[in-house]
Amino acid sequence: MGSATLPFGHALLHAGWPFPLIVQMPLMLVIAASLMLISEPHFDESAVALAIPLFVVILQLTLKCKSRRHHRRRLDKAIEDFCKKLGHGDGSIAVDPGPGRAIMLKKLLGFAQHFADFTRDRNMYYVEPNIVRQLTAPYKTSLAEFLGASRLNWFVSHWWGNNFQDTMNALKQHAICGKTAEDWSGVNYWICTFSNNQHKLKEEIPGRLEDSSFFKALHSGFCDGVCMILDEHAEPLTRSWCLFEFLQIVQLSEKMKDFQGLVFCHTSGVLDYGTASVAVALGICKRLSNMRLEDASASSQSDKEMIDALVIDQLGSFANFDSKLRKEIIEAMDAAKLAYEREFQALAPAEANSGPGSSQESL
């Protein structure tokens, strides 16, 4: 017979009957403190001092475990209901990594709405393991394949730590610019969390960056541009993988005439289109202008070193890379300025016509 060894942290949470060890251990200490009270002929204050806080800890841990189990049951039910709503039978249609693994915004917003109760204050670090991976586990596919993949229109560069609902709102803000309701809901976005098969990441991101699903999607010839989802701190540009994507934008902008380049998106609107609030636009641009791309980090040091080496090889230095970012910021601010000026100019005649003088003339 074989044997299994649990890591210490997992053993505390999952080993032991009928309660996890993390509950049993302080419970035994409380029992020991109680026995001390019984066995001592005189009242022992130290035993009480030990027993009360331990009892509080046990109560808190028990309630937390109960809450987590309840949350998991609700989430499992939501996943089951979502599968029934989609009507999945034998599985999803497999699509090769690359441009064919985008998701139509309409499907993406439907997914976000169904799981909204679980994602309100959470980010992709919660959504991917708890929802995406669980939902696709029976089929071992990406979420894009599970929902029905499409060919990309836009590539999305984002930080997993950004609020999930804010990310969805930012994409909607981008999609609706200059489009009707029918048009914007049909825009297809390539998002690594959903377009990569999280069950087979080694196949999605092999040794060479040029073989990665990111690279294939960006250089497919079908990509209109890149939406970078930003919060007020511009966190994506502190991550090495977003730098890799920005490096591809620089290359594509030089060799593709129709490529729309980098577009800065926020939950309040799109900076480049002048639909984001002025305060947000100024705050983000100030943050970007003070940023050193060389300081970006990655969860894997080898990934950071590989991407840093690629930047040096293709641009010569990070100083050149920083200047490319400054250029993007200036272009975004110029475009936003023109959009804001048009809005103000359109408002000015309306305000003049609604003034006191105009009402007297009409009389």
Q: Which two tokens stand for residue 229?
A: 């989802």
Domain annotation covers residue 360 = no
**∠ CA(88), CA(93), CA(96), 5° rounding?**
150
How far is the first Cα of the chain from the last one, in angstroms, to the nearest whole number? Answer: 99
Same-domain status, 250 and 207: yes
Same-domain status, 22 and 93: no
Same-domain status, 33 and 159: no
Total domain count for the chain?
2
Same-domain status, 171 and 214: yes
Give the pLDDT of residue 345.
Answer: 82
Q: Residue 194: which of 136, 153, 270, 122 has the closest Cα?
A: 136
Same-domain status, 308 and 163: yes
CA 305, 310, 312, 313 torsion: positive or negative?
positive
Same-domain status, 60 and 118: no
Mutual angle of helices 105-114 and 164-176, in 10-degree steps: 150
Same-domain status, 107 and 62: no
Domain annotation covers residue 184 = yes
Domain annotation covers residue 242 = yes
Q: Residue 142: which of 183, 91, 180 has the closest Cα?
A: 91
Same-domain status, 161 and 237: yes
Give the pLDDT of residue 258.
Answer: 87
Domain annotation covers residue 120 = yes
Give the pLDDT of residue 37.
Answer: 59
Same-domain status, 27 and 92: no
Q: Cα–Cα distance between 174 and 266 in angstroms, integer?
A: 9
pTM of the model: 0.76
Q: What is the pLDDT of residues 95-152, one digit of tens each?
A: 999 999 999 999 999 999 999 999 988 999 999 999 999 999 999 999 999 999 999 9
Domain annotation covers residue 359 = no
12's CB contacts (< 8 A; 6+ apart) are: 20, 21, 22
Domain annotation covers residue 264 = yes
Give the pLDDT of residue 210.
Answer: 84
Cβ atoms within 10 Å of 98's Cβ, excluding its own: 22
What distance lies between CA 343 and its chain's CA centroid? 32
Same-domain status, 246 and 118: yes
Same-domain status, 98 and 226: yes
Domain annotation covers residue 131 = yes
CA 216, 217, 222, 227 torsion: positive or negative?
negative
Same-domain status, 307 and 333: yes
Domain hosting residue 282, numbered range: 88-348
Query: For every one of its 363 residues, what pLDDT tens digit does the chain have, with 9 covering 90 and above?
Result: 445 555 655 555 566 666 676 666 666 766 766 666 566 565 556 656 666 676 677 667 666 766 677 778 899 999 999 998 887 655 568 899 999 999 999 999 999 999 999 998 899 999 999 999 999 999 999 999 999 999 999 999 999 999 999 999 999 999 998 676 668 888 999 999 999 999 998 888 777 778 889 999 999 999 999 999 988 777 887 888 888 888 888 889 888 888 998 999 999 889 888 888 878 878 877 777 777 888 888 888 888 888 888 889 888 888 888 888 888 888 888 887 887 788 778 776 655 566 555 544 443
Point out which residues pair with 225 in neighbouring strands: 154
Domain annotation covers residue 218 = yes
Give the pLDDT of residue 347.
Answer: 77
Helix or strand (DSSP H, E) at 228: strand 225-229
